[in-house]
C-alpha cells in the first residue's frame, strides 16, 4: 500500500522539487518578477525562425542581414522615425551629434579619378602637417588612391581612424610628390554655418543642426554680434533637420523670459516632461525673425514653435517638415543601435506638429513631392493642415497643430532657380569642379579680397569666364546656353557664390548668397522700420 502511495505522489514531489529549484535560481539571478509570479520565458517565434534558417536551410545565408531585415520590417509597422542603425551608420550618426569625428581634417572632391583637397580645416591635423588646398592625393598608407576607381567611401575608410594614430599620405603638388605623416585627431563638425552683421544693426546666424556643441557655438556668435551693435537677429533654420532637444531649448531660453514653457514631451510609457526657461536670456527684447522651410524639422520646429506661440519671433518662409516625435537611442549588443520613438513633443500652447503617417511610410516620405504638386510651395493659400484644431496666442492669433509650423509670413519657392541645364551642371558636380579649378588658377587675384562683403560688391564674373565654363561643361556632355539672359544671370550668380565658398567656406557662401536669397531679403524688409529695433534698447 505504501509503495502504491509513493508511486502516486512521486511525480508530484519531483515536479515540486523542479519548481522550487527554478524559484531559487530566479531569486539568485535577480530575475524574479516584481509581482512574485515566475514563469519560463520561451523563445519568440521570430528568434526560432531565424535559428531554424541558420541550422536547417538548404543554402548558407548571411544571418546578420536577415536579422537586420526582420528588425526593419518590424519597425516599418510603427512610425517613420523609429529606425535600426547598423554599427557603422550608428558611429556616423553619433559623430554628427557629438560635433566631431577623428580624422585628418580635409574636404575633398574626386575629379577624373583624382582626389583633390578643396579645403584644409583650420588648426586640424592636416593643416598642422602642411597639406594645402589644391593638393592631389596619390597614396594613403600603402594604398594607391589616384586613378584607382577611388570613391569617397573608400577614401574615408583609409583616412579616418583612432585618435593619435598616424597615417602617411603622398600628394602631388607643383609637379612633384610630397610625403606627409599626419597624426589623426579630433575634427570638428560645426553646426553653425555663418554668423555676421547682415545690416547695420541686424545680425544673421545660420544653424544646420543641433549637436552637443550647438549652444556653445550659438552663444559665442551672439556675444560677438552684440558687441558689434546687433539689435535685431535673423535666425536661419532652413534645412535644419534637428538633433539634440536640449540644445534647442537652451537657445529658446535666450529669447524667452521668466519661467515660460518651451516644450513638453509625453508618451504612453513616458510621463509628461516640461522644458522651461531657467535663466535670464541674452536676447529677451531684441527683434527676432526665424527663417524656416520644408526641411526644417524636429528640434528646429520646437524652437520655432515656442517662439511663435509666445509671439517672440516672426516666422518667415514655408511650412516646416512636421516631425513631432521624440526618439531615444538604444545601443545593441553587436554595436548597432535602435532609435525608438518614445514620446511626442508639444509646443507651449499644446500643438503637436507631427504630420500624419496613418497611410504608411511611402506616402509619408512623398509628402514634400505632394506639396510641390499641390501648389503649396508657391501659394500660401494652398497650405493644408492635417489637424484643423485651432490654438490662440495671447493676442488672439490663430495657429494650427499637425503638419509642421506654418509661417507668419509666407515666401514662395524661387522657381527661377529651375533652369534645367544649370541644375544638371550643379547636380553632376560640373559647376563646382570648374569653380575649384578656376580658383586655383586665379588664387592670387582672389586673395586681394579681404572679406565676403567686399568680394560680393566688387567681384564680377566675366564673359570669358562663362565661355571657359561652357567649354568645360561640354566635356561632361552638358550644353550651357550662356547667351540666354536667364542662364547667363544664374551661372554668374552660382560662380560668384561658389567662389566665395572656396575662399571663406560656409561663412562666405551664405554672406554672398544671402544677397540673392528672397527669404533673407524679405526678413530684412521686416526688420524695417529700424525704430522697432532701436526701441528694444
Strand partners, 266: 344
Strand partners, 273: 265
Unique residue bearing C-alpha cell 562683403: 453
Phi, psi of 333 (to 5 degrees): -65, -30
CA 155 to chain centre: 22
Helices in 99-244 by DSSP H: which ranges? Answer: 125-129, 152-159, 214-227
Which sequence positions are flagged as catalytic? 298, 309, 323
Q: Are 345 and 320 in contact (CB under 8 A)?
A: no
Tally the C-alpha atoms within 13 A of residue 141's C-alpha that lie toward its C-beta: 13
Q: Which helix or strand (DSSP H or E) is residue 84 part of? A: strand 83-85
Give the integer Cα–Cα distance in Å for 316 and 403: 16
Q: Are 482 and 471 in contact (CB under 8 A)?
A: no
Give the integer Cα–Cα distance in Å for 264 and 94: 24
Phi, psi of 466 (to 5 degrees): -65, -40
Q: Are 201 and 533 in contact (CB under 8 A)?
A: yes
Give the integer Cα–Cα distance in Å for 205 and 117: 28
Angle between helices 245-253 and 299-309 (to 10 degrees): 30
Unique residue bearing C-alpha cell 509642421: 404
The pairs formed by 480-485 with CB atoms below 8 angstroms and a separation of 24 or more are 480/421, 480/422, 480/425, 481/421
SS3 207: strand
Amino acid at each position: 500500500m505504501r509503495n502504491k502511495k509513493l508511486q502516486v505522489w512521486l511525480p508530484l514531489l519531483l515536479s515540486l522539487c523542479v519548481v522550487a529549484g527554478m524559484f531559487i535560481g530566479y531569486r539568485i539571478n535577480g530575475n524574479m518578477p516584481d509581482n512574485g509570479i515566475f514563469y519560463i520565458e520561451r523563445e519568440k517565434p521570430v528568434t526560432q525562425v531565424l535559428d531554424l534558417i541558420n541550422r536547417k536551410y538548404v543554402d548558407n545565408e548571411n544571418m546578420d542581414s536577415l536579422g537586420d531585415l526582420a528588425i526593419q520590417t518590424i519597425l516599418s509597422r510603427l512610425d517613420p522615425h523609429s529606425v535600426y542603425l547598423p554599427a557603422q551608420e550608428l558611429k556616423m550618426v553619433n559623430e554628427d551629434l557629438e560635433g566631431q569625428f577623428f580624422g585628418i581634417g580635409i574636404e575633398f572632391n574626386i575629379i577624373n579619378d583624382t582626389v583633390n583637397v578643396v579645403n584644409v580645416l583650420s588648426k586640424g591635423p592636416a593643416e598642422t602637417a602642411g597639406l594645402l588646398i589644391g593638393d592631389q592625393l596619390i597614396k594613403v598608407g600603402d594604398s594607391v588612391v589616384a586613378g584607382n576607381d577611388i570613391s569617397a567611401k573608400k577614401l574615408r575608410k583609409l583616412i579616418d581612424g583612432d585618435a593619435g594614430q598616424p597615417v602617411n599620405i603622398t600628394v602631388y603638388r607643383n609637379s612633384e610628390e610630397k610625403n606627409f605623416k599626419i597624426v589623426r585627431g579630433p575634427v570638428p563638425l560645426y553646426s553653425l554655418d555663418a554668423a555676421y552683421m547682415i545690416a547695420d544693426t541686424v545680425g544673421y546666424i545660420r544653424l544646420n543642426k543641433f549637436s552637443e556643441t550647438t549652444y556653445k557655438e550659438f552663444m559665442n556668435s551672439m556675444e560677438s554680434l552684440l558687441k558689434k551693435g546687433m539689435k535685431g537677429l535673423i535666425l536661419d533654420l532652413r534645412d535644419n533637420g534637428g538633433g539634440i532637444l536640449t540644445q534647442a531649448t537652451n537657445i529658446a531660453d535666450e529669447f524667452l523670459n521668466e519661467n515660460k514653457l518651451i516644450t513638453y514631451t509625453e508618451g504612453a510609457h513616458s510621463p509628461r516632461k516640461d522644458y522651461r526657461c531657467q535663466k535670464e536670456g541674452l536676447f529677451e527684447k531684441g527683434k527676432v525673425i526665424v527663417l524656416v522651410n520644408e526641411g526644417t524639422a524636429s528640434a528646429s520646429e520646437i524652437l520655432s514653435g515656442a517662439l511663435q506661440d509666445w509671439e517672440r519671433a516672426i516666422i518667415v518662409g514655408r511650412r516646416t517638415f512636421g516631425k513631432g516625435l521624440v526618439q531615444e537611442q538604444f545601443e545593441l549588443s553587436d554595436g548597432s543601435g535602435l532609435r525608438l520613438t518614445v514620446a511626442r513633443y508639444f509646443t507651449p500652447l499644446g500643438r503637436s506638429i507631427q504630420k500624419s503617417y496613418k497611410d504608411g511610410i511611402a506616402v509619408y516620405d512623398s509628402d514634400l513631392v505632394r506639396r510641390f504638386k499641390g501648389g503649396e510651395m508657391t501659394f500660401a493659400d494652398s497650405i493644408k493642415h492635417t489637424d484643423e484644431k485651432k490654438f490662440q496666442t495671447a493676442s488672439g492669433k490663430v495657429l494650427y497643430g499637425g503638419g509642421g509650423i506654418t509661417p507668419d509670413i509666407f515666401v514662395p519657392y524661387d522657381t527661377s532657380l529651375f533652369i534645367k541645364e544649370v541644375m544638371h551642371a550643379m547636380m553632376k558636380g560640373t559647376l563646382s569642379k570648374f569653380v575649384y579649378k578656376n580658383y586655383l588658377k586665379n588664387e592670387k587675384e582672389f586673395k586681394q579680397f579681404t572679406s565676403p562683403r567686399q568680394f560680393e560688391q566688387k567681384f564680377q564674373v566675366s564673359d570669358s569666364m562663362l565661355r571657359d565654363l561652357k567649354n568645360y561643361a561640354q566635356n561632361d556632355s552638358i550644353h550651357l546656353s550662356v547667351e540666354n539672359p536667364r542662364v547667363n544671370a544664374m551661372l554668374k550668380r552660382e560662380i560668384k557664390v561658389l567662389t566665395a565658398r572656396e575662399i571663406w567656406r560656409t561663412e562666405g557662401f551664405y554672406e554672398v548668397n544671402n544677397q540673392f536669397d528672397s527669404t533673407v531679403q524679405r526678413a530684412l524688409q521686416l526688420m524695417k522700420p529700424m525704430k522697432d529695433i532701436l526701441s528694444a534698447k
